[in-house]
Amino acid sequence: MTGRGPQIILSRSHPDMVKALFMEQIPEVKDGYVEIVSIAREPGERTKVAVKSSDVNIDPVGTCVGMRGYRVQSIVRELSGEKIDIIEWSDDIAQMVVDALSPARVDRVRVDSDEREVEIIVPDDQLSVAIGKNGHNVRLASKLLDWKIDIRSRSDEEMAEVFEEKLYENFIEHITMIPGVGESIADSLFDSGYKTIHEVSEASPEDLVGVKGVGIKLAEKIVKEAGEIAKRVSREELQSMVREALEREKRTEGKMDEMVGLHKALEREEKTEQEKEDATDEEEQEMTSEGYEDGNMKRSKGEGSEGEIESKEEYEHEESD
């Protein structure tokens, strides 16, 4: 309220502004043939719109884009060049996430419906594309679907798998020190979320009873013994062991690459030496061949040769006889 009366403030940053423009520019949206299910917007940067059609004969995305992009471009102009991504709504959340993260390419999708979380694995060169400038792409995709999205590169995923494997090896080594705990129960404990001996020692016997193959008596024994083992193996030592294992693996891979490189270099050097030897042999053969041809030419022309002298001596000897 001002001295001149009520004041109306108009905002072009609200998501409904985009919806109103879609209804204005696209008759099928206004008439209800195409429904806007969700909008996620960061004004001035980018907007993602999920649409679906009640008519199987209508392509909702193509309808909104228009011939040669005419319809969506008119909306972009109204929003001063703000980028607009239009995707088709689907009940398949995995497909929705892939579409929502476009133009990034996605390798794998893991869906946790209970937690409404999605883990995405992308090629290394697609990580920045999937995240987007200042995180716009993944943030808008998450808002659009109302799901948490975690993006990891293929290299990060491979490293995480190696780390998990080393963690598992250390866990099995320690937990199977407890009498009555074999690999089967150890696997069940690991699969239940207990990744270190310390986590087992901090659990209650009642927590472990739910693990396959573990009764209350064994659970009490496991917790007690795990506590004793945990005292001998500090968390820092455990983490250090895992890091060292990873470093050893990296060094081994590096040495293997170095050995392969040296082997290839040696092969190239041997090949070069062989080519030089072959070239030398060819030159010697050519020189020998040329010398032989020159000698023949001289003999055919009657130029003084030992063959000619020998023939003369034989002739004179025959005459004297």
Tell me the CATH class for 91-153: alpha beta
**CA–CA dist 53, 60 (Å, integer):** 5
* CATH of the domain spanning 176-233: 1.10.150.20
- Would 11-89 and 91-153 be classified into the same CATH topology? yes
pLDDT at 239: 62
Residue at 10: amino acid letter: L
Task: State the virtual CA torsion across 216, 218, 224, 229 in degrees, nearest 10.
Answer: -150
CA distances from 251 to 62, 130, 149, 167 (A): 52, 31, 33, 19
Contact in structure between 37 and 49 (CB atoms under 8 Å):
no
Could you tell me the two tokens for 211? 């693990």
Specify the 3-state DSSP secondary structure of 8. Answer: coil
pLDDT at 321: 41
Domain boundaries, the chain: 11-89, 91-153, 176-233
Query: pLDDT per position in the chain (321 positions), as tens?
Result: 566 778 777 677 888 899 999 999 999 999 999 999 999 999 989 999 999 998 989 999 999 999 999 999 999 999 989 999 999 999 999 999 999 998 899 999 999 999 999 999 999 999 999 999 889 999 999 999 999 999 999 888 888 888 888 888 888 888 899 898 888 999 999 999 888 888 899 889 998 988 888 888 999 999 999 888 888 776 656 566 666 666 655 554 544 454 444 444 445 544 555 565 666 656 555 555 555 445 544 444 444 443 333 333 333 344 444
Going through the chain in order, the beta strands assigned E by DSSP cover 34-42, 46-53, 83-88, 108-112, 117-122, 148-153
**CA–CA dist 228, 274 (Å, integer):** 66
Specify the 3-state DSSP secondary structure of 26. Answer: coil
Flag whether the pTM goes above 0.75. no
CATH superfamily of 11-89: K homology (KH) domain (3.30.300.20)
Specify the 3-state DSSP secondary structure of 33. Answer: coil
Q: How many residues are recorded in the chain? A: 321
Contact in structure between 204 and 230 (CB atoms under 8 Å):
no
